[in-house]
Amino acid sequence: MISRSGREGFFKAHYDWIAAAAGLLALVAAGVYFAMSLGDDPDEAAAAAAARVDAMKPQETGVKPLDMAGYQIAVRATRNPVLLADVPDNGGSFLASERRVFCKKCKKAIPGDVKAFPNCPLCGEKQEEEAKVVLDADGDGMPDEWERKNGLNPGAADDASADADGDGFTNIEEFLAKTDPRDRNDHPDYLDSLKLQLPLRETYMPFVFTRANKIPSGWRCEFFDAKKKDDYGRMGRTVTAVIGEQIGDSGFVLKKYEAKEKKAAIKGGKGMVKSVDVSEATVERKSDSKVVVLVIAADKKTKPAPVDVQATLVYERGGTKNFEVVPGDEIDLNGTKYKVEEIKAAGKGAKATLVNSVTGKKRTIEALEQ
C-alpha cells in the first residue's frame, strides 16, 4: 500500500506527463464536439463540397461566336456617313444640330428653315430661301441623293454609264429623262434617239393637168408628161382619162373634176379684170390612196406639183438605222411603232411630226440647216 506521501511524490515527479495527457484528451473531446456540432458525417460533407466544386465548372466547353452586329453597323456608317445636307432644317441629331444661317441684315445666326421662319426672329428682315445645294461626290452628273434613292453608289462614277434595269438606257440617261433606272418598262422616249436629216426631198407628179373637155358622159381631162415620148418619138406625151380611169401607166386614177374660175387684174389694164381658169382635177395614187388636187396649168411648161415630201430619219441606239419616209409611213423602234404624220420645211430647217401608234402621243423632231 502506497502512503499519502508516496502518492504526492509520484504526482510531483510526473506532473508534466499528466498535464500533457489531459490536454490531449481535451483536444480530442473538442474535435469530437465540433464534428457533432456540424450535424453531418465527414464523408458526406466532403462529397457535398466536391459536388459544389463540380457545379462551379462551366457547362459549355465551346467558344461562343463573336457578335458582329456592332461591327457591321460601324462599316455601314463609314461607307454612307450622315451628311450635313441630310439633316433637316428643323431638327438635328446628337452629332449634327439643326442648320442655322446668318441673317442678311443683322448678320446674326438664325434658324435655317425659311418656311418656318420667313422673317428674322431678331430684326424682322424677310429672308430669301437659299438654293438647295446639290451634292455629286463622284462628279458623274447624278446627284448623291438620287443615287442613294435608286440603289447606286454616290462614290463610284462608273455607274453613270451602267444600265441598272437592262432597258437599253444608261443610268445617266434615265436621270436626265426623270425615269426610274430600276424599272425596265419606265425609260426615256425612243424618239430621243431619232434625228431628222437634211435636206428634205420632194417627189413630184409625173404630169401636169392641162385641159378638160365636155363629153356626153361627163368630162375627159388631159394630162401632159414632159418626160415621156409621144407616138412620133418626140419628148412630151399627152394622155387622157375620164372619172374612175387610170391616167396612162402613172399609177394615178382620176377621181373628180371641178370647173372653177376666178377674176384677176389685167396687168397694165387700169383696173380691168379677166377670168382665169383654175379648174381642179383630183387624182388618187393606187399604191397608198394618197390624194392630190391638181390645178389646171397655164401651159405645158408648168412645173408639176409636189406629191410627197420625203425625209431621212436616223435612229442612233444600238447601231445606226436609217428610215426613208413620207407622210403616212410607219416606223418601228424597238417594238414601238410610230406613224409619220407630217414632214415640212420650217425656215432654214425642217420638222417631222410622229405619233405613237399605241398612246397617240405626238412628238415633233426638228432639224436646222448647218
Cell of 265: 387684174
Tell me what the mean pLDDT of segment 103-110 comes to: 82
User: Residue 182's closest CA among 197, 169, 200?
Assistant: 169
Longest Cα–Cα distance of the chain, Å, equals 202
Give residue for cell 450622315: 82
Q: Are 153 and 147 in contact (CB under 8 A)?
A: yes
Q: What is the pTM of this model?
A: 0.47
Helix (H), strand (E) at residue 312: strand 306-316
pLDDT at 282: 97
Class for domain 192-201+308-367, per CATH?
mainly beta
Give residue for cell 419628148: 235
Query: Please, which pLDDT band fits residue 209 given cuts at 50, 70 and 90?
Result: very high
Q: How far apart are CA 77 and CA 84, in angstroms?
A: 14
Q: Report the sign of the C-alpha dihedral through residues 78, 80, 85, 88, in that order.
A: negative
Give the domain ranges of the chain. Answer: 113-188, 192-201+308-367, 206-304
Residue 38 has pLDDT above 70, yes or no: no
Q: Are 248 and 264 in contact (CB under 8 A)?
A: no
User: Residue 314's closest CA among 335, 342, 333?
Assistant: 333
Average pLDDT over the chain, rounded to an integer: 82
Q: What are 246's strand-pairing partners?
A: 253
Amino acid 265 reads A
What percentage of the chain exceeds 70 in pLDDT? 77
